[in-house]
Amino acid sequence: MKTYLKVIFNSEGTKPSEIIDRLRSLGFSLTRGEHDMVYNWPDSASAEDAIWFADKIQATLQGFKVYFEMETID
């Protein structure tokens, strides 16, 4: 399973490099194309795991004036 993340930065918010560093601390890697970052899940993860991870991403980015869009696929 993979979780893809698209990040929308705000000119009044935190620098993009700091946001990327925070997301890397969660295990995300930069990618090219439609999405900005990807997280590769270990062997088996559930939909509930993806929701838990979305909460963790939101908590990590809270207060930094960025938006994110997440897509998790098998």
Angle between helices 16-25 and 47-61 (to 10 degrees): 140
Q: Span 7-26, mean pLDDT?
A: 97
49 three-state secondary structure: helix
Task: Tell if the pTM clears 0.85, that is, is over it.
Answer: yes
Question: What pLDDT is recorded for position 25?
Answer: 97
Using alpha carbons, list the distances in angstroms from residue 29 to 35, 54, 64: 11, 16, 20
74, pLDDT greater than 90: no
Average confidence (pLDDT) over 55-61: 97
Domain 2-73 -> CATH class: alpha beta
User: Tens digits of per-residue pLDDT, 18-50?
Assistant: 999 999 999 999 999 999 999 999 877 888 999
| 71 pLDDT higher than 90 | yes
